[in-house]
Amino acid sequence: MKILLVTMTDKLAEKLSALNPELDYCAAVVDNVESAKEIFEQVGLSQVPLYPFRALQKLVKTLEYDYVLLVQERFYGMGIVKKLNVYGLPSNKLISFATLPTIGNWQTERHLRYYREHAQEFEMFATGTSYTETSIDIRKFKYKTFNFGTSSQDLYYSFQIAKSVILCGWGGHTSIRYALIGLAPYCFHFDLSQTYIFKSRVLPYLVAFDDVHNFPVPFDIYKGLLREEWLTQKPSIEKVNLNGVKSKKVIINPQTTNKGFTNWDKKYYPKTRDEYIKILDDYLTLCEENNIRPIMFAARATERFMENFNKQMLEEFYAFIEQALKNHSNAVFVDGWKWDGITYDDFYDLGHMNFRGAAKFSTYLNDFIEQLER
């Protein structure tokens, strides 16, 4: 199996130490050839041809390789992925690992390990994408809550987390009373494992669940690119963040940016939709079988985001939610898109709340839950 490696020289030795030492590199594309040459020699890879980034397009089109392996910093790497897409690299030829040396790849695994050790302390948990991560402030809830939401967490992986949380109780017992199920309006068409741009974000779920869902590259090849002892390490859970990321930034020029909603204008994936309708049904059933009240919710977005979002997809989303409520009488839905208690100052971009918005929205959710109990 031939690998075309694309990476920066920053922390290159650490990146190479995480990769399987048996990999056969046909070439490596780097930002600094001279610096990379020294590092490749130190790790016994002096025979690998090195090229600068300006040669990437030509190499993608002319070299013989089985896979392009992109090992990059998270946001810089996205730009390279977009270039590879433009160059015509098929999805089943690209594997992307971001920030290999960092603890971020163990976020979900560490969260679940922490939860298992403290399960009886919690009465609520939340799952979902970055909209869940940034909109839930656990300090505003009556019941102790663990926010498992994180960037690009699709409904499939939300369900895997929910199963791990709910089924880890002793003798079938769990202290969980409520499941906060964060659902973005595009969630029935978003399969993280099949996205071209966000491929790197599947790695934390390999670490947590030994699962890459519908990833276009065979599982054994994907996993085999990494050193086994690197994959199975257990970073400390002492500093686990139960509350998700809360930004202090305030959105700038909301009328001049399109970030967030335009990505879904022309995307529609019926196969993913059908699979994810079933996954949501299974998620709600799991809650019912364990006496947990499922609270589906859509986090509030800015007016500009909501006004420009794909109307057909939004109508479909509401129809699926309505059907889920008919099938599961104990489930409820909180539509943050119809809540007016927030302004642009409560967001750090068009779709994500900052810490002020999270405090307001979580107070709103908590009040809703307390009303349910009355």
pTM > 0.85: yes or no: yes
- Which burial class, exposed, middle or buried, applies to 149 when counting CB atoms under 10 A from its CB (0-12, 13-18, 19+)? buried
Task: Band the pLDDT of 72: cuts 50, 70, 90.
Answer: confident
119 band by pLDDT with thresholds 50, 70 and 90: very high
Domain finish residue from 53, 86, 101 = 101
124 in the same domain as 187: yes
- Over residues 359-364, the mean pLDDT reads 98
Structural domains counted in the chain: 2
Do 252 and 354 sit in the same domain of this protein?
A: yes
Q: How confident is the model at residue 199 (pLDDT cuts 50, 70, 90)?
A: confident
For 282-335, write each residue's pLDDT tens digit.
999 999 999 999 999 999 999 999 998 999 999 999 999 999 999 999 999 999
Residue 247 has a pLDDT of 94
Q: Specify whether 110 is located in the same domain as 240.
A: yes
| 109-120 CB burial, b ≥16 within 10 A, e <16 | bbbbbbbeeebe
- 3-state SS assignment for residue 51: strand
pLDDT tens figures, 138-149: 999 999 999 999
Range of the domain at 19: 2-101
- Counting residues of the chain whose pLDDT is more than 90, the rounded percentage is 83
- The mean predicted confidence, pLDDT, of the chain is 92
Q: Assign residue 82 the CATH number of its domain.
A: 3.40.50.1220
313 & 184 share domain: yes
Residue 260 has pLDDT above 60, yes or no: no
**pLDDT at residue 241 greater than cutoff 60:** yes
- Binned at pLDDT 50, 70 and 90, residue 103 comes out as confident
**CB-side neighbour CA atoms (13 Å) of 54:** 2
Please report, rounded to a whole number, the percentage of residues in the chain having pLDDT higher than 70: 95
List CB contacts of 345: < 8 A, sequence separation 6 or more: 250, 251, 356
Among 103-107, 161-165, 208-212, the minimum mean pLDDT is found in 103-107
Residue 222 lies in a domain: no
Query: Looking at the structure, do residues 6 and 18 belong to the same domain, yes or no?
Result: yes
Assess contact for 222 and 360: CB atoms under 8 A. Answer: no
